[in-house]
Amino acid sequence: MDVQADQARLPSDPSATAVVETPVTAQGQLFRDAYPTYADTDRIPAVNRGPGRPAGPARWLRILVVVVALVVVAAGATLGLVKAGIIDKNGPNGTSTTPTTLHAATHVPSTAPLVTEVSTGSGIATYRVAIAAYSVTVTTSTGRSWVSIGTPGAHPSYAGIVSPDSSQKEVLLGPSQVDVGAGGTKVIVTSGKRTSTLTPPSAPYSYQFVLKG
């Protein structure tokens, strides 16, 4: 046959050999000297960032948190100064941004009498009170005295016998009437630091207190 003739004319060369090796794989690795993969180690390979590489977003996040905290503290301090009146809340467009000096209010006691006489009669006297709220204190000295303190036309706030060297005090608002008996009594009207002392000229005696008109 022709094929046999061709093979006879082409003698084989014993020195030429052909070897086909099967690629060696190890768990998905084509070459033995390749870098390790996830399949080899069952872990994500560590990567060296190098000494000059930045730390990443975590560092910037910490810096941002510190900046925000400082802004909040500064805002709180400014608000406290504004409420205290040290800083003008109007800012640069306001009238002033300088610290405000606070002056304590000075109370000047009045020199005017607390009560002034309106009229007197037999066993009775009328006085005008400069302040609507006041107190009346009836004191005794050598003997006991019958005392009545209250609003005219109403049940008295106090009515009874005051022992010697004693006192009876009632707080009143508006017009009032004070009746006293024997016993060396004194009627003391007080409002704040202002005091007026009245001594009955006779016993019994009645005081009418009216408001200043």
Could you tell me the CATH number of the domain that includes residue 153? 2.60.120
- Is residue 14 in a domain? no
Query: In angstroms, rounded to a whole number, what is the distance separating the alpha carbons of residues 190 and 213?
Result: 19
Number of domains in the chain: 2
Residue 29 included in any domain: no
Domain co-membership, 200 together with 141: yes
- Residue 147 and residue 184: Cα distance in Å, rounded? 12
**Stated pTM of the model:** 0.50
Tell me the backbone φ, ψ of residue 159, rounded to 5 degrees: -150, 115
Mean pLDDT for 181-189 is 89
Residue 125 has pLDDT above 90, yes or no: yes
Are 73 and 150 members of one domain?
no
At 56 the pLDDT is 62
Cβ contact 97:91 at 8 Å: yes
d(CA 176, CA 18): 138
1 or 175, which is more confident? 175
165 within a domain of the structure (yes/no): yes
Q: Is residue 122 part of a domain?
A: yes
Q: Position of tokens 């094929």? A: 3
Q: Is the residue at 184 inside a domain?
A: yes
pLDDT tens-digit series, residues 68-81 = 888 877 777 777 66
**Greater model confidence, 173 or 104:** 173
Domain span at residue 163 reads 115-211
